[in-house]
Amino acid sequence: MKAVILAAGAGERLAPITQTLPKALLPIGSESILSRQIRQLAEHGVQDVYIVIGYEGGAIREYLAASAQPCNVYLIENPSYKTTSTAYSTLLAEAHVSGEAFYLLDGDVVADGLVFEKLAVLTGNALLYQEKSISSPEEMKVAEDGGVVFLSKTIEDERALGEFAGIARISAEASSAFFTALNKIAQDFYYEVAFNEIASEFPFALETLTEGSWIEIDFVTDYLQAVRMFTEQRDAATPAISEQVLLCPGPVMVSKKVKSALLHADIGHRETEFIEILTRCRAKLNQAYGVTGKDYTNVIITGSGTSANEALLSSYGPGKKLLILSNGEFGNRLIDLARCHELDVNGINFGWANKIDLSKVEELVATGLYDALMVVHHETSCGMLNPINELGALLKKYNVDFLVDAVSSIGAEALSVEEANITFCTASANKAIASLPGLAFVCGKKTAFQALKEQKARTRYLDLYKHYEYEALTFQTPNTPAVSLFYALEVALDELLQDTVAARKEQYSYLAGLVRERLKKLGMQFVIEESDMSCVLTTVYYPQGIDVEAFHDWVKQNNYVIYRGKGPFLGKAFQIANIGHVREEHVLSFLDMMERGFQMTETTASVTH
């Protein structure tokens, strides 16, 4: 098998690091991008690799000559690299591979071994791509028209299946036709145009790649992301810098990789580099929200989870009749936000820690008086998980919009905005997504976002349509964003999607089980039924006779942070969260320390070790 690697470009957008070094020689750990590609190809059956060089071609020659290669490597010079594009560079390999099957790789793609394993078993024409519901203008997108594959950077998100990964297999049967098509197109076109020319006669199979298995390096930010993805190991335990163990429902402990993401290249938020980060984060957020189709999108707001809720209510709410359900502090906050903006709202309070009465809700919704209902998915003031899917089905029956605050459930609980028929859903970065505080999100139906254009928003900074207009339509933010937090968010989303939400939920459920079993053995009482609890938070009454303040002082002295009960549970209950990068050893150590702390009485203000 043969392969062609395109490495002629100057990599101007990676300046200054490519001023004297070609992009293909940028190091990824102990290897360069190029040597990594050659090794991976050789490991998967490639005997001959043809590399098209141009910018700093001499450096590539010297680099390859300095060490033995795992297969035959041949260099092809493109002396016109400054004025030609990838189509011309590919054409220069015609004499070496035309009429034969070969792999074609962009020289700036870094991928893991599984990508090359997938490539090695392919037959016929094939393109590797990643499914995406949100793409940036820079990405080479893939679509199908009448069953025929089509590639272009200008394909709209609604039509695009995802992003081409810059890795393809061209069959022996199609090879000559491919080079014939390259000969016909202009020198400054992309080689993907030739794929389009032959796709109807020589169809391409599409092979999907998983999130985090590859990256194309166009900007310094991409390069730093590649180094993080393929060289840094995720920490098995909370890094030493985190002296306190946070067993509270937010802020949460984050991984070492998330923290290290703050050490990044400075970029302007109106530049292409930020457009790429913003778009990637939005695409990955859609996955976290359970989006599989084209009907939903999202926006990212610099602010806390409350900013997302206020943006939603103040932008969507005017002129609407709202029904807001509450069974705790955060449901009450939603009602307060609606009243702050003088919205037409009916707040139904079922009482702290009480279940939502679905029959009562249906009775209200069936009147036809309400345009929308809003509820908190995970009411963290008591740890109750509210019945989102049941409410979604009920509201669909009566054609009522569904607004959900999922600030502390996204990333931990099973929630799909599609399956629950949610119109808009809010969340934030520093809960179960396990990133740093300061970013919030609103995911919603595209039609619902578009309908906001006719609404008169009550705020400027939190004008939800303005955020949609900028982020989804022009790939920008309306105001200066917290750029560094986007770097951290992308790493956190990569970790979440690599783990999968289902696996995170399983792990959180296991940790919660450790907490609850120990508490039951101590004869302690939960505030709500165990079957109603989320997988990340346990609210439990204090044992009788302890000094509450002395107990919390004891906990803090031992470098743990837990939260006191709120509202009617203040002084009566406390909360133990197992969210974020909390490990089993943290939970077990805390439970042992907690038992010692319970030795305190009202007359004993401290406990000895």
Tell me the mean pLDDT per 10 residues along the chain, length 609: 95 80 92 96 97 95 94 96 94 96 97 95 95 90 94 92 96 96 87 96 95 89 87 54 78 90 79 87 95 95 96 96 97 97 97 97 97 98 97 97 97 96 97 96 97 90 95 89 94 94 96 97 96 97 90 88 94 95 93 86 39
Find out whether 424 and 315 touch, Cβ atoms under 8 Å: no
Q: Give the distance, in angstroms, between the CA of residue 82 and the centroid of all CA atoms in the same chain.
A: 36
Category of 397 on φ-ψ map: left (φ > 0), alpha (ψ -120 to 50) or beta: alpha
CA neighbor of 205 nearest in space, from 170, 229, 176 = 170
CA neighbor of 424 nearest in space, from 440, 410, 443 = 443
CA distance 380 to 539: 9
Contacts of 519 (CB under 8 A, 6+ apart): 526, 538, 540
Query: Which runs of consecutive H residues, i.e. helices, occur in 14-79?
Result: 33-43, 57-65
Domain 2-230 falls in which CATH fold? Spore Coat Polysaccharide Biosynthesis Protein SpsA; Chain A (3.90.550)
Backbone angles phi, psi at 373, to 5 degrees: -125, 140
- Amino acid sitting at position 291: V
pLDDT attached to residue 185: 87
DSSP 382-431: TTEEP-HHHHHHHHHHTT-EEEEE-TTTTTTS---TTTTT-SEEEEETTS
Q: What is the CA radius of gyration of the chain?
A: 28
pLDDT attached to residue 236: 46
Q: Where are the domains of the chain?
A: 2-230, 260-499, 501-600
CA distance 141 to 512: 42
Contacts of 580 (CB under 8 A, 6+ apart): 246, 252, 253, 254, 431, 432, 434
pLDDT attached to residue 178: 97
Find out whether 393 and 414 touch, Cβ atoms under 8 Å: no
Fold agreement between 260-499 and 501-600: no
Find out whether 386 and 379 touch, Cβ atoms under 8 Å: yes
What CATH number does domain 260-499 carry, 3.90.1010.10, 3.40.640.10, 3.20.20.70, 3.40.50.2000? Answer: 3.40.640.10
CA neighbor of 579 nearest in space, from 332, 326, 410, 329 = 410
> 443 has which bridge partners?
298, 425
Domain 501-600: give its CATH code. Answer: 3.90.1150.10
pLDDT attached to residue 152: 95
- Amino acid sitting at position 600: M
pTM: 0.82
Q: What is the DSSP letter of 199?
A: T
